[in-house]
Structure 1
Amino acid sequence: MHNHRMELDQIAIALFGALAAWLSQARSEKLRRWACIFGMLGQPAWFYAAWKADQWGIFLVSVIYLGAWMRGVWVHWIAPPPASGVGTIQIVPRK
């Protein structure tokens, strides 16, 4: 007999995954930078669900996604912002 209630890991995967995908497409940089945070929040549910179901391929893909979300955290929250403007080099002719 199957239990048809949605489990917490499935709710977390649906909620955080959809929110991360939605935010990753935002026009606003202030909103877009939150995609990686919600993606990271969903990762424990992915790991648990894959482990619980013995789905080791999904577990491996979850590790790859974790790396991608970690990159987003680094780029949008930790690393110093890039320098503004375009740097130029001026070559002065000899006289």
Structure 2
Amino acid sequence: MHNLAMPSDQLVQTALAILGPAAIWLSQSRTVHFQRWACIVGLVSQPFWFWSVWRSGQWGVGVVAVVCALAWLKGLWVHWLAPRPSSGLAMLSLPPESKLK
């Protein structure tokens, strides 16, 4: 059996310091174009969070990491995977004579 190369603590800490804040920053963008990338960056950061929790034994942080992973997965569904109407936002128009008097 092969031993997997373990990431250095420096690599893990650097990844956490860059990817986590980048995902949060993207999520607060004014445009959907950038907002949709927040979940991708956030999901890329999750293995580093889980590795850090495993090494440190800080299980409270582990709970937060799981909740964040679920939130990033929701973003993946909303921004990348969910079916969308072909023309964007669907609008329903009623003719003027259909208004209630």
Gaps of 5+ in 2: 1-8
User: What CA RMSD, in Å, does the superposition of the two structures yield over aligned residues?
Assistant: 2.2
Residue identity in the other structure for 1:25: Q
Aligned to 1:40: 43
Aligned to 1:3: none
Aligned to 1:86: 91
Alpha-carbon offset, residue 81 of structure 1: 2.0
Residue 7 of structure 1 aligns to a residue whose secondary structure is: helix
The correspondence for 2:74, drawn from 62, 71, 75, is: 71
- Over the matched positions of the two proteins, sequence identity in percent amounts to 43
Residue identity in the other structure for 1:40: L
- Runs of 4+ residues over 4 Å off in structure 1: 88-92
Gaps of 5+ in 1: 1-5
* TM-score normalised per structure 2: 0.77
Alpha-carbon offset, residue 89 of structure 1: 6.5
Alpha-carbon offset, residue 10 of structure 1: 0.8
Between the two proteins, the alignment pairs up a number of residues equal to: 89
Residue identity in the other structure for 2:89: S
**What is the CA–CA distance in structure 2 between the aligned matches of 1:29 and 1:84, rounded to whole Å?**
14
Residue identity in the other structure for 1:86: M
* TM-score normalised per structure 1: 0.81
